[in-house]
Amino acid sequence: MHWHLCQQSAPYPTPVGFFLDRIFPAAESLWHASVMTILQLESIDELPPELWDELAGLDYPFLRHAFLHALEASGSVSTATGWTPAHLVLKGADGSLDALLPLYRKMHSYGEYVFDWQWAGAWERAGQRYYPKYLSAVPFSPVQGPRMVARNETSQAMLIDYIDRDLALGSVSSAHLLFNTGEEDAALKGAGWVQRLGCQYHWHNRGYDSFDDFLAACNSRKRKNFRKERFAVVEQGIEFVWVAAGDITELEWERFYPFYAATYFKRGQEPYLTRAFFSLLSQGMSDAIRLVFARQGNRDVAGALFLAGSETLYGRYWGCLEEFDRLHFETCFYQGMERCIAEGLQRFDAGAQGEHKLIRGFEPVITQSWHKLQPGLHEAVDDFLRRERTGILNYQQDARRYLPFKQTEGE
């Protein structure tokens, strides 16, 4: 664990006046009365779970201590896989946390879903080193949520200043904060970070009491298509079995993991997550897990894992070992939609990409990320992102034309 007292010059050569002028202007007495410490954690386990979760909360499953612990303890996230934990926390004099930021020192750009390969190539062609870089994101999961959690703007600014100082020292080429929900926007923009937009497809529960209620909101042609797709799965003799969170054992994970791994093997890749990750996840946060198997006769033919927050269902990992007509749509989309309705969840995030989601009622939603890079590269990226943002916003508006919902009172 690296302890960096804010009064110290190490690791920064700038004296404490830097912090006083920028963070506590005209408030030196306040500074001495409330000393705070920035810690950079080499493992999430260097901090007690209750301390992290008290600030991060439990509503968003991907920021829970148990989720980050499962990633690290399973070996899915490690220096060996190119994800070195470097989480930042700001600790008050009384031992409580004032701010936190999940952070990794990355040696590649895999598993991020906001692609910067071209930026890396351009920087390296200029004779510079792009890796390592800082990344604040949920590993392998393009899910929107809180990233920099702080009790006040002062604490938020201290974390940003810490990253900016590492950038100034050249220890990283760049810093990236992905899929945040906006609490940090003003502070990041004020510190010179630049925004990148993206587009995902999310399904919204408009107070439906059943899947038929959702169908009633769609035009007649799309209703017929939905029913045809779902019936195609029934005709193949496939039914779906949800496993209650409290009933998930090692046997269920042994059944599920080959399905998850097959999704990667089909693309010639190794799975990002190890088998141990799922056991650790179940031990630490079983309340958030939703697991379903597609069963034909007496054998499982597919499986899907979802995580649930206080308002959102997240479709994360799925796979099948054989090809079945329309099985992917039923397992990953319609089953999740029905689960949202049954639990009263307001939104279903079924994963990144996939324009085929539009005709199935998943609406185009703007996502964002924030970036700060070394001088020279930063200005070039900023110019590119300004133009890209216009295209993304235009795409979102155009994509809405493909939604299945009724356009008039009649249809």
Read off the pLDDT of residues 118-170 as tens digits, 9 standing for 90 and up: 999 999 999 999 999 999 999 999 999 999 999 999 999 999 999 999 999 99
pLDDT of residue 316: 87
Q: Cβ-count burial of 202 within 10 angstroms (0-12 exposed, 13-18 middle, 19+ buried)?
A: middle
313: helix, strand or coil: strand
Give the 3-state secondary structure percentages of the chain, helix then strand then coil, rounded to 5: 45, 25, 35
pLDDT beyond 70 at 17: no
- Residue 108: C-alpha distances to residues 105, 167, 336 (Å): 9, 17, 32
pLDDT of residue 27: 36
Query: Lowest mean pLDDT: which of 5-14, 86-95, 139-148?
Result: 5-14
CA 398 to chain centre: 26
* % the chain with pLDDT above 90: 87
HEC per residue, 203-222: EECCCCCCHHHHHHCECHHH
pLDDT beyond 50 at 6: no
Asked whether the beta carbons of 313 and 351 are under 8 A apart, the reply is no
pLDDT of residue 28: 35
**How sure is the predictor about 87, in pLDDT bands with cuts at 50, 70 and 90?**
very high
Half-sphere exposure of 42 (CA within 13 A, CB side): 4
pLDDT of residue 137: 98
Query: Quick one: how many helices (H) and strands (E) in the chain?
Result: 14, 16
pLDDT tens by residue, 194-211: 999 999 999 999 999 999
Q: Cβ-count burial of 155 within 10 angstroms (0-12 exposed, 13-18 middle, 19+ buried)?
A: buried
pLDDT of residue 16: 32
Written out in words, the top-level CATH class of the domain with range 206-345 is alpha beta
Architecture per CATH, domain 2-197+366-398, reads as: 3-Layer(aba) Sandwich (3.40)
Query: How far, in Å, CA of 248 to CA of 250, rounded?
Result: 7
pLDDT of residue 102: 98
Lay out the sheet containing 97-101: strands in order across.
2-5, 37-41, 87-91, 97-101, 149-150
DSSP β-ladder status, 83-85 and 312-320:
unpaired
pLDDT of residue 353: 77
Q: What is the residue-averaged pLDDT of the chain?
A: 91
* % the chain with pLDDT above 70: 91
pLDDT beyond 50 at 50: yes
pLDDT of residue 411: 43
pLDDT of residue 271: 95
pLDDT beyond 90 at 36: no
pLDDT of residue 93: 86
pLDDT beyond 50 at 59: yes
Outline which parts of the chain fall under CATH 3.40.630.30: 2-197+366-398, 206-345
- The average pLDDT across 4-21 equals 33
pLDDT beyond 50 at 19: no
pLDDT of residue 113: 94
pLDDT beyond 60 at 7: no
Query: How far, in Å, CA of 202 to CA of 184, rounded?
Result: 23
pLDDT of residue 4: 41
Give me the phi and psi of 52, to 5 degrees please: -65, -50
- Amino acid (1-letter code) at residue 103: L
pLDDT of residue 34: 55
pLDDT of residue 245: 83
Query: How far, in Å, CA of 314 to CA of 145, rounded?
Result: 11
Q: Cβ-count burial of 173 within 10 angstroms (0-12 exposed, 13-18 middle, 19+ buried)?
A: buried
**How sure is the predictor about 5, in pLDDT bands with cuts at 50, 70 and 90?**
very low
User: Which contiguous run of DSSP H or E holds residue 164?
Assistant: helix 153-169
Give the helix ranges, DSSP H, for 313-405. Answer: 327-329, 335-343, 377-399
Biggest alpha carbon distance in the chain? 74
pLDDT of residue 62: 98
pLDDT of residue 351: 86
**How sure is the predictor about 31, in pLDDT bands with cuts at 50, 70 and 90?**
very low
Query: Lowest mean pLDDT: which of 34-38, 212-216, 218-222, 231-235?
Result: 34-38
Asked whether the beta carbons of 119 and 146 are under 8 A apart, the reply is no
Q: C-alpha angle 259/262/263, rounded to 5°?
A: 100
